[in-house]
Amino acid sequence: MATTNETAGHGASFSYSRAVVFLLLLGLLLASVGCNCEIVRNIYYPTPITQMRLTNAPETPVAVVYDFVDERSGSVRGSPYLDLWLVPYVTFEFPQFLKEPAERGAYAPYEPSDESPLLSDQFKTVLERHLDAKSIFRFPKLDAELSPEMSPLFEVSGVIHKVTARANYSLFGLGLVPGLVPLGGLISYVDCRYMVDVALECRDIKGKVVAKRNITGRTKRAIVGSIPALTEPAYLRLRPLQEFLQPQIETFAKQIHDALADKDESYWRGLIDERNAQYTRRMASSRVAVIELRPIGVRRSLGESLARVVRNTLASSQRGVMSQDDMVSKLGAELPANCDTPALWQELGRKLGASELVVGTVEKRDAEYIIVLKLIDVGSLRPVNIITASCESASELEHTASAATQRLLSR
């Protein structure tokens, strides 16, 4: 009889264990289905309507958002499919906040592009759009002609110390989130606040600080989960962050405006003279010639337009870059079909008076565009850096070429 009871007890224990395992697996399944942590493309908000023109300036000054860096370190990256359902409170980075390019996969199925940029690029775009819409500054376009007038009088820079989500998690409507009632049923959701710590600074071309702004604090709540009314469309998740950033950047814009509004003619003349002198020194000391990218399986005009993107990206990085008109006047309209040989590097460098060349190709291979850039030292006739970059659509080519050029300079 004792043996029978013991056997029954083991059977009950085994059934109980199976039930626990089943419930755990069910919880994991429901959590992974219910927790909608899909990527939100960007954090751009609508540009402001009211303007702050600098009426005393001779023209709308050119500016550039320069050296916007991401110094975050030691962040806790939670997984929506594991950490959040086990731990009701966690510091979490959504995919669009990743510091480095993410590998493709279920969790972060993207690479940086115009639609899915890294956080530092998102902040750079937000600042440019805001200051440009306020008519305080204008920003050089990628297809602008190189000239002293398109060189910046002001630089805006920033440092990202922290942008992450501090989240509570509620599974099965247990009501673990303070301030929210249980929702009932098999419902899971995340309730979070975004924690922000970003420093902004504006300097004129002489290095004088015009304005500084530290953006710190936490946003209103954002909810992510299995409740369509709360989480669709997906960008609603970032609305608290957008609403938090807009008045902060508006205040920064007003600081810049107020600091420059009363500047007299001598101030502006001094900046213009310094800009022209710096432009002349750059052109004399380091002349970089960007040769048209050789097209492979694409039209020639694409190679020409991407060479223009490379040229203007180099110019915005304070490099002395030869204009297209200057190159044509010395070489003629037609370049050799393939400029990627030491003999031609030597000939081009001599005719152009360039110390460095940028040569490369743009190729369409299956459904992918591939850009190869080489930075050639004319003195040694050797490549000092080679960058290969790719994208999946023609709309991303300019951004890809610009990013590849920046990497080309970081040798």
| CATH number for the domain whose boundaries are 286-409 | 3.40.50.10070
* pLDDT of the residue at 78: 55
- What is the identity of the amino acid at 299? R
Is the pLDDT assigned to residue 184 strictly greater than 60? Answer: no
CA distance 183 to 175: 7
CA distance 312 to 303: 14
Provide the 8-state DSSP code for 62: B
Which pair of tokens denotes residue 345?
């590097």
CA distance 297 to 309: 20
Range in 144-148, 185-189, 302-306 the model is least confident about: 185-189
Tens of pLDDT, residue by residue over 324-358, are: 777 877 777 666 656 777 778 878 887 887 888 89
| Sequence ranges of the domains in the chain | 31-266, 286-409
Range in 92-96, 111-115, 193-197, 331-335 the model is least confident about: 111-115
Is the pLDDT assigned to residue 201 strictly greater than 90? Answer: yes
* pLDDT of the residue at 322: 80
* pLDDT of the residue at 216: 96
Confidence band for 52, pLDDT divided at 50, 70 and 90: very high
Nearest to 139 by CA among 150, 147, 148, 149: 150
Tens of pLDDT, residue by residue over 262-276, are: 899 999 999 999 988
Which pair of tokens denotes residue 39?
């990527």
Tens of pLDDT, residue by residue over 128-157, are: 999 999 999 998 765 455 567 778 899 999
Average pLDDT of the residues in 202-226: 88
Name the residue with higher pLDDT: 333 or 316.
316
- Cβ neighbours, 10 Å, residue 65: 24
Average pLDDT of the residues in 9-31: 50
CA distance 289 to 277: 20
Give 148: exposed, middle or buried? Use CB within 10 Å, 0-12, 13-18, 19+: middle
Average pLDDT of the residues in 31-50: 63
Cα dihedral sign, 93-104-86-28: positive
**pTM here?**
0.65
Please state, rounded to an integer, the average pLDDT across all residues of the chain. Answer: 75
